[in-house]
Amino acid sequence: MSTPGTNYINCEKGIWSWLTTIDHKRISLMYFYTILGFFLLGGLFAILLRTELLTAEPMFMNGNQYNRAMTLHGSLMVFMVIVPGIPALLGNFCLPIMVGAKDVAFPKLNLLSWYLLIGGALIAMLSLFWGGVDTGWTFYTPYSSKSADAVTMVVFGAFIMGLSSIMTGLNFLVTIHKLRAPGMTMMRMPLFVWSLYATAIMQVLASPVLGITLLLIVAERVFGIGIFDPNLGGDPVLFQHFFWFYSHPAVYIMVVPAMGVVSEVISTFSQKTIFGYKAIAFSSLGIAFISFLVWGHHMFVSGQSDLAGTIFSVLTMLVGVPTAIKIFNWIATLYKGRIKLDTPMIWTLNFLANFTIGGVTGLFLAAVAVDVHVHDTYFVVAHFHYTMLGGALTGLFSGLYYWFPKMTGRMYNETQGRIAAVLVFIGFNATFIPQFIMGSQGMPRRYHTYDGVFAPYHMASTFGSYILAAGFLFAVYILVRDMFKGEKIEDKNPWGGTTLEWTTQTPPIHENFEEIPTVTGSPYEYR
């Protein structure tokens, strides 16, 4: 077995040992740097956009440049940050350890997923040198089959990143089914694993539809075949159906893992057994199932029939049920818990507050009449930032701080961590509450100029975004700095967690466990 003092980080040396590693923990660390890198880049574009919007008149970007920056911001954040964020980064590290395995089922495929993400991202970003793309991250036809050449590259890049996502999901499903330690029944799995399970189902079943749709756009552009071109009998709305058939489940691919992180953090930092384990576990599956039936809520104004609109509206509201089940169970877990307000917990409380707002405004948008009114306004922009940023990304940071000591063997600076988390909370709400207001008053999205009446809201939103950016920059800086400079710890279980990863050495050895554990009880057994 391993000699004392060795762990997965120092057991091999040199850049090559990282680029060819098939250890899930090392791959997770590689995702850490790539995803945070993309995150900073996507954030840079966000700040450029917000700064341009400081005044109603154009400042330093014209309409074209604005659209390009907006498309890049969206595509980067969706395909390169939030979709791979929690599963590929935190899931990769935690899932095998949490179920008591030495690695994922297909370690080489796992490495390939990382290379595909990098490759797809590079191809997509090269488009910058071909003049950029101005379609928005949704690539709606027929515009996307006619506009700038670079669309082909971005779309192809997104296709490759989709493959990466599929393979991660496939790997996780098999790992969960086949590699659990003796005694680790499905109903003894940590809730984070359950959330990754539901996510993986969506990744495997939904992403292929996006894949073929993106390939059809490429074919449309290269051959001019016209499958979505009304001039040639094609139907552009079919594209929207295909696109949202993936992209609605995709928003749950982004947020369900965050819900898993939150379940872990709430239990640990309330020092209390999670309330409603089964309800939380099955509600993840419930969300995954319903997610495939609601895509039409993105198309209320696309000319679909009233009947279809009504059905999609009702089905969409159903998503509120499993989501609310989770939120109530989390609150019940907090109730009478011995709550510790460490950094991961502050991020998780951010999640609870922000995601609830995102979820409730989602119900507004699910109502057809309201949606027709606020469609394509900043109300929608604010809504999905509350779920994606206030939900998914906040969950990612909660998890990053939670598992940081286990991943790195060092402790981050607690005071600074808390300050960053609070800054993000303030900045986030200052940025997006004004957007709800101006959206409900009719400020359309995706414009680089606007009517003067919206100026105060835009100004507030832009200054809010600077606080938000400062908070996130600080949060990332702390993590990266303390990865090398943080105080060393050897404590196996600094937070008093009850899942398997807290029984391993800090940081874990190459094969995670000296001996595969035999599980005898449920997770979250606090006494």
Partner 1 sequence: MSTVKVDRRVDHSHHFESMQQEHESGKQGTWLFMATEVMMFGALFTAYFLYRGKYFESWVEGGALLDWKLGALNTVVLLFSSFTMALAVRETQLGHNRKALKYVIFTTVCAFAFLVVKYFEYTGKIHHGLFPSEGMWSYDAQTPQLRLFMVVYFIMTGLHGIHILIGIALMFWLMKRLKNEEFSKDYYTAVEGVGLYWHIVDLIWIYLFPLMYLM
Can you give the binding site for Cu ion, defined by CB under 5 A? 248
55: closest CA among 376, 448, 470, 429? Answer: 448
> Is residue 184 near partner 1 by the rule CB under 8 A?
no
Window of 175-183, 314-322, 350-358, 425-433 that interacts with partner 1 by CB under 8 A: 175-183
Residue 362 binds which entry of Cu ion, partner 1, none, with Cβ cut-offs from 5 to 8 Å by kind? none
Window of 221-229, 306-314, 378-386, 412-420 that interacts with partner 1 by CB under 8 A: 221-229
Nearest distance from C-beta of residue 222 to partner 1, angstroms? 8
> Is residue 423 near partner 1 by the rule CB under 8 A?
no
Using CB under 8 A as the binding criterion, the count of chain residues that bind partner 1 stands at 45
Q: Give dist(CA 490, CA 509) in Å, integer.
A: 13
H-helix or E-strand spanning residue 72: helix 63-75
| Interface residue with partner 1, options 52, 103, 264, 501 (CB under 8 A) | 103
Nearest distance from C-beta of residue 357 to Cu ion, angstroms? 17
> Is residue 142 near partner 1 by the rule CB under 8 A?
no
Q: Give dist(CA 251, CA 247) in Å, integer.
A: 6
| Interface residue with partner 1, options 136, 142, 226, 444 (CB under 8 A) | 226
Residue placing its CB nearer to partner 1 in the complex, 154 or 173? 173
Nearest distance from C-beta of residue 385 to Cu ion, angstroms? 14
| Interface residue with partner 1, options 16, 129, 223, 484 (CB under 8 A) | 223
> Is residue 232 near partner 1 by the rule CB under 8 A?
yes
Q: Per DSSP, what are the bridge partners of residue 410?
A: 488
Residue placing its CB nearer to Cu ion in the complex, 40 or 299? 299
> Is residue 299 near partner 1 by the rule CB under 8 A?
no
- For residue 185, count other CB atoms closer than 10 A to its CB: 10
Hey, what amino acid is at 100?
G
Q: Which residues contact 310 (CB under 8 A, 6 or more apart)?
A: 368
Hey, what amino acid is at 157?
G
Window of 218-226, 351-359, 362-370, 464-472 that interacts with partner 1 by CB under 8 A: 218-226
Residue 248 binds which entry of Cu ion, partner 1, none, with Cβ cut-offs from 5 to 8 Å by kind? Cu ion
Q: Per DSSP, what are the bridge partners of residue 488?
A: 410
Angle between helices 455-485 and 394-408 (to 10 degrees): 10
> Is residue 113 near partner 1 by the rule CB under 8 A?
no
> Is residue 98 near partner 1 by the rule CB under 8 A?
no
Q: Give dist(CA 332, CA 461) in Å, integer.
A: 34
Nearest distance from C-beta of residue 124 to Cu ion, angstroms? 23
172: closest CA among 118, 243, 92? Answer: 92
**Per-residue contact string for residues 9-48; x = within reach of partner 1 by CB under 8 A:** --xx------------------------------------
> Is residue 517 near partner 1 by the rule CB under 8 A?
no
Q: Give dist(CA 462, CA 357) in Å, integer.
A: 20
| Interface residue with partner 1, options 44, 47, 218, 225 (CB under 8 A) | 225
Hey, what amino acid is at 390?
G
Hey, what amino acid is at 480?
V
Window of 125-133, 234-242, 331-339, 401-409 that interacts with partner 1 by CB under 8 A: 234-242
| Interface residue with partner 1, options 128, 205, 367, 459 (CB under 8 A) | 205
Residue placing its CB nearer to partner 1 in the complex, 141 or 462? 141
Residue 40 binds which entry of Cu ion, partner 1, none, with Cβ cut-offs from 5 to 8 Å by kind? none
Exposure of 433 by Cβ count < 10 A (0-12 exposed, 13-18 middle, 19+ buried)? Answer: middle
* SS3 category, 76: helix
Nearest distance from C-beta of residue 366 to Cu ion, angstroms? 9
In the numeric block, the tokens 């995102």 are attached to 358
Residue placing its CB nearer to Cu ion in the complex, 45 or 384? 384
* SS3 category, 228: coil
* SS3 category, 102: coil
Nearest distance from C-beta of residue 169 to partner 1, angstroms? 8
Task: Give, in order, the Cα–Cα distances in Å from 131 to each of 48, 134, 154.
Answer: 18, 9, 12
Residue 265 binds which entry of Cu ion, partner 1, none, with Cβ cut-offs from 5 to 8 Å by kind? none
**Per-residue contact string for residues 248-277; x = within reach of partner 1 by CB under 8 A:** ------------------------------
Nearest distance from C-beta of residue 178 to partner 1, angstroms? 4
Q: Give dist(CA 183, CA 519) in Å, integer.
A: 5
Q: Give dist(CA 126, CA 149) in Å, integer.
A: 12
Q: Per DSSP, what are the bridge partners of residue 512?
A: 509
Residue placing its CB nearer to partner 1 in the complex, 17 or 62? 17
Nearest distance from C-beta of residue 99 to partner 1, angstroms? 12
Nearest distance from C-beta of residue 297 to Cu ion, angstroms? 5
Q: Per DSSP, what are the bridge partners of residue 411?
A: 487
Exposure of 333 by Cβ count < 10 A (0-12 exposed, 13-18 middle, 19+ buried)? Answer: buried
In the numeric block, the tokens 């989390």 are attached to 330
Taking every pair of Cα atoms in the chain, the longest distance, rounded to a whole number of angstroms, is 70
| Interface residue with partner 1, options 235, 487, 491, 514 (CB under 8 A) | 235
376: closest CA among 136, 166, 80, 54? Answer: 136
Positions touching partner 1 (CB under 8 A) are 2, 11-12, 101-107, 109, 166, 170-171, 173-174, 177-179, 204-209, 211-213, 216, 219, 223-227, 232-235, 238, 242, 245, 510-511, 516
